Structure 1
Amino acid sequence: MRYSKMYEALTKVLEKDEQITFAMTDVTSRQIELWSLMFKDRAPWINEDTKSMGLPSAISSELARLITLEMESKITGSSRATFLDSHYQKQIRKLRQFTELACAKGGIIFKPYVTENGLATQIVQADSFFPITFDDSGNITRICFVEQFRKANSIYTRVEYHKLEGTRLTIRNRAFKSDTDGILGSEISLESTERWSDLAEEITIENVTKLPIGYFKVPLANNKDADSPLGVSCFSRGTDLIHEADIRYSQISWEFESKETAIHIGESLLKYDKNQDKLVYPGGKGRLYRAMEYSQGAVDKPLLEAFSPDIRDTSYFNGLNQQLRRIEFACCLAYGTLSDPNNEAKTAEEIKTSKQRSYTFVSDCQKALQDALEDYIDAMDLWCTIYDLVPQGSHRVSFIWDDSLVVDTEKERQTDRSDVAMGAMQLWEYRMKWFGETEEEAKKAVGMNDQTALIDDMTE
């Protein structure tokens, strides 16, 4: 499915019914399509001469790793909370993978739904949903989800339309059949396809405050479409730089290939094999030898000549390394993540600034992801209530993010040790912070319980 083509097709179909004006523009739809292609190493500039370095997937993977590193989250509070947590943990275990897809394409949606076996979750990537309207708080109020499959020569498309008006949620399903990619084709009934025959054409739910989804979007502004409320790819600002890096990388590959050692040998020195209709090279090493025709004469080249020119690798790699540093800056990565770490910024201030840029962006992504997961949990809770899947009950969700992404943990620990040594921090406070002990456990470990009891007795 080409995202930009589907955007145009949906616009034509939906405008007839509800005079819909999409919150996104054709500029953003083309961007999402480009980011998706780049992530798959199928950027428009990739061809026989220009190879891909795989930078989009590498950038997305690294940021996803930093965002979800040692992340823990769970739902507690009641039997309903236990039920929700059992489904929630299935997604948490794959959260890094989902985050990588979101970083690459600008966003992702956690969409729970009810099945015969209870709850399930659909992970919808940015090139499979189409936001229509947002409220003043930036929450989606109308959206289309698109699902497609092929059967024989036909393409079947289901459009799931969600609309929130006040506190009324309306969900509609429509199906289409086409023989041409990029268009919806003619509308068909849901019952005509076995895959969607159990779905209702329309349902309405009252007393709903937000759409039953969790939308995680990368917290970056869209520098190509400043008014767009959608998230953008983590490498959106480095698109042109990545294109140039692929060119540099391809030039290096050609430099090594074109300068490969060879022996130029006169054809007269080679044996001709009639059965194979070709010249036979010494030892069968056809890659090493290149047959040449030499005319007779005193000034002719020798019949054997080594070809082994110098490779200009240093200049090429220096140029590529500088290009990678530009990409790191544009994509909120610390220097040395993609580029040669031996050539990383050397001054303490440069290193601190470089790492802080990455840590700040990662922290912003963690906050956005937490908001999305909280909305996702609320959506699961809504479906549990509507379909009476489990008795009512309160639930609380906790999140633990790895502080070392934002703080130099070892440096902070050394500082706390110095504070304990000079008396500015109590040893039991240190144990509570770094050993995870309660105040009672920490004081007992440092022998303060007897002293505390004595003070309490004196006070009484």
Structure 2
Amino acid sequence: MGIIQTIKNLIKRSQYRMTTESLASITDHPKIAVTSAEYRRINENLRYYQSNAGKVTYTNTDGMTKQREMTVLPIARTASKKIASLVFNEQASIKLDDEQANEFIQETLKNDRFNKNFERYLESCLALGGLAMRPYVDNGRVRVSFIQAPVFLPLQSSTQDISSAAIVTKTIKASGQKNIYYTLIEFHEWANDGKYVITNELYRSDNQNVIGDRVPLAEIYEDLEEQVELNGLTRPLFSYLKPPGMNNKDINSPLGLSIFDNAKSTIDFINTTYDEFKWEVKMGQRRVAVPENLTETRMVNHDGDVQLVKRFDTEQNVYLRLSTNDMDGGSITDLTTAIRADDYIKTINEGLSLFEMLLGVSAGMFTFDGQSLKTATEVVSENSDTYQMRNSIVSLVEQSLKELIISICELGSLYGLYSGTIPQMEKIAINLDDGVFTDKNNELDYWTKALASGIVSKAHAIQKAFNMSEADAKNMIQAINQETMDTANSQRSQQDIDIYGE
């Protein structure tokens, strides 16, 4: 390391000593505009998503207090996964009208396996209430980083969107016999002159539950700058996606709610009932009271050998040995109690039905009557609530993906990886296949009739019927016209060609 660089590092370290900050919690930072209650709510959503219900405390027959793990249904994760798969899958496509921009985006998304990753992280978005996507440059390529709700905190926001945010990254480093916990806070802000500024702050702590004291970046990030200014960005470098609906937990918060945020008490009810059901099954296993004299073992001398004779298998837990005096008549007695399976199953299904209502999906999405499978037509007609919920999420996903595409192109342009024009929102076509709900024949029939009646153009009808961009629809019209002309020419008689020419 050169002398000049050494002096610069010493100056940086002295600046940190003069501006030392200490944070107990991430929400204590003066720049972060998230209340501690909102931050706790997000972490509580994570606990439900992980199916972490804690322990059950009970008193046994000896009067001793015991604890056991609660048995739960992963209903929060199941709901998030199922709805995410209805909204987005690997068959989804993104196309741009501009050929150069489309080629750059397709190559970027393909190399980063974006479709596969986004389907997984969309599940996290629905479960935790939000997801941010930030493009970055790595080894000459633009890649996309997914920032989940617990580590994405807004700084400033308008009524429409979050314009500035903090992204938190945690790192653990071993130091002797103990761990050191580092927290990197990456601030994305707009300066007064319109420049986009990224500021990095590093904090260190011996306690994983405390953010700790601010330290120089060089402790673990040698090449990371304290501040970077980017010119030419028209929007934040990140794109924030949240589930539809108002945040009724904090109406002033720009953060979204989990799809099950208002159904947590119902999830608790389902889990409690399921845990009691399983415990009853365990307690209801077969029990037989056996007189003590029937369980005794004897030593029998047979031909000089000593042999142990057992009345019952010692590995069995079915038999309960009691003193003959404690038993009526000294006979074998069945102590097994009936399991209330039907009552518990009915109660769990009632809870699941309530959960479906609170989520806003159609009845039967999580419950099953065991009678019959649904046909495709019945799914389309009966899943109207699920379809409406999906459409609400789809519109937000499409908007967020379009914003991400623009940010990828702008970042690629700043680093010389892309030389084309920055695409406009309306020139980006997002195709999220909804074949599960949409009857393609009915869709085609609808737009064919609309075209025949003259109320829509051919290009518009093709766009809607086949979910194409405007450019692709016009190309299809040209191909159809050319095929029509070729067919007409092939059907002309030789005499007609001789008179009128080819």
Alignment of 1:84-123 (within 5 A): 84-89=105-110, 90-123=113-146
Larger Rg: 2
Structure 2, unmatched stretches of 5+, are 1-21, 57-66, 300-308, 493-499
**Alpha carbons 1:218, 1:365 under 8 Å: kept:** yes
Shift of 1:392: 2.9
Deviations 1:162-196 (A, max 9, x none): 11245221110111110012222121111121xx2
Residue 292 of structure 1 corresponds to: 322
- Is it true that 1:233 corresponds to 2:277 in the alignment? no
Structure 1 CA distance, aligned partners of 2:258 and 2:55?
A: 18
Does residue 36 of the first structure (1) align with residue 36 of the second (2)? no
- 2:290 aligns with one of 233, 255, 265: 265
Q: How far has the Cα of 1:99 moved from its partner?
A: 0.7
Supply the distance in 2 between the matched residues of 1:122 and 1:160 (Cα, whole angstroms). Answer: 13
- Give secondary structure in 2 for the equivalent of 1:325: helix
Which residue is 1:338 aligned to? 366
Mapped pair 1:309 → 2:337: yes
Aligned equivalents of 1:273 and 1:419: distance in 2?
Answer: 92
Q: Distance in 1 between matches of 2:158 and 2:446?
A: 46
Contact between 1:443 and 1:449, CA under 8 Å: does it hold in 2?
no
Contact 2:361 2:383 in 1 (8 A): yes
Aligned to 2:5: none
Secondary structure at 1:375's aligned position in 2? Answer: helix
Task: Go from structure 1 to structure 2 and tell me whether the alpha carbon gap of 1:362 and 1:282 turns closer, same or farther (over 3 Å shift).
Answer: same
What are the equivalent positions in structure 2 for 1:168-179 lying under 5 Å apart?
A: 168-179=195-206
Q: Which amino acid aligns with 1:57?
A: R
Matched residue type, 2:38: T
Q: Deviation at 1:424?
A: 8.7
Runs of 4+ in 1 over 6 A off after TM superposition: 350-354, 415-420, 434-437, 440-448, 451-454
- Decide whether aligned partners of structure 1 residues 213 and 273 sit closer, same or farther in structure 2, where only a CA change above 3 A counts: farther
Separation of aligned partners in 2, 1:199 and 1:439 = 53
Aligned equivalent of 2:348? 320
**Percent of residue pairs bearing the same amino acid type:** 18
Which of the residues 186, 190, 197 maps onto 1:164? 190
Query: Does the C-alpha gap of structure 1 residues 293 and 49 become closer, same or farther in structure 2, counting only changes over 3 Å?
Result: farther
- Give the deviation of 1:281 after TM superposition: 6.8
Give 1:339 shift. 1.3
Alignment of 1:329-408 (within 5 A): 329-342=357-370, 355-393=383-421, 395=423, 397-404=428-435, 406-408=437-439
Instruction: Tell me how far 1:256 sits from its aligned partner.
Output: 1.4
Post-superposition Cα deviations, 1:32-53, rounded to whole Å, max 9, x if no partner, equal 0111111111145777363210
* AA aligned opposite 1:68: F
Deviation string 1:355-378 (CA, Å, 9 cap, x unpaired) is: 222111111111111111111111
Q: CA deviation at 1:95?
A: 2.0
* 1:68 pairs with one of 68, 71, 88: 88
The answer as to whether partners of 1:212 and 1:378 remain within 8 angstroms in 2 is no
2:167 to 110, 125, 145: 145
Change (3 A) 1:280 1:120: farther
Instruction: Tell me, yes or no, if the aligned pair for 2:362 and 2:386 is still in contact at 8 Å.
Output: yes
Distance 1:356 1:247, change over 3 A: same
* AA of the residue aligned to 2:242: K
Secondary structure of 1:159's counterpart equals: strand
Distance 1:247 1:109, change over 3 A: same
In the alignment, residue 201 of structure 1 is paired with which amino acid? E
Displacement after TM superposition at 1:243 (Å): 0.6
Residues 1:144 and 1:284: Cα distance change in structure 2 (over 3 Å): same
Letter in 2 for 1:210: R
TM-score by length of 1: 0.80
Report if the CA contact (8 A) 2:171-2:182 is conserved: yes
Give the secondary structure class of the aligned counterpart of 2:325: coil
1:246 aligns with 2:271: yes
Aligned residue pairs: how many?
425
TM (norm. structure 2) is 0.74
Question: Is the contact made by 1:75 and 1:81 (CA closer than 8 Å) also made in structure 2?
Answer: yes
Q: For 2:171, what is the secondary structure of its paired residue?
A: strand
1:124-156 residue CA offsets vs partner (Å, 9 max, x unmatched): 1001111121124x2222211110111122101
- CA RMSD in angstroms, aligned pairs only: 3.9
1:42-57 matches, within 5 Å, as 42-43=52-53, 48=68, 50-57=70-77
- What's 2:16 paired with? none
Structure 1 residues 271, 441: closer, same or farther in 2, change over 3 A? farther
**SS at 2:25's partner residue?**
helix
Code of the aligned partner of 2:94:
S
Quick one: which amino acid aligns to residue 101 of structure 1? S
One-letter code aligned to 2:143: A
Deviation at 1:264, TM superposition (A): 2.1
Q: Tell me, in whole angstroms, the C-alpha distance in 2 between the residues paired with 1:244 and 1:132.
A: 36
- Which deviates more, 431-440 or 381-390? 431-440
| Shift in CA distance, 336/8, structure 1 to aligned 2, threshold 3 Å | farther
> Aligned pair in 2 of structure 1 residues 208, 281: CA closer, same or farther (>3 Å)?
farther
Q: Tell me how far 1:291 sits from its aligned partner.
A: 2.3
C-alpha distance in structure 2 between counterparts of 1:211 and 1:295, whole Å: 82
> 3-state DSSP class of the match of 1:160?
strand
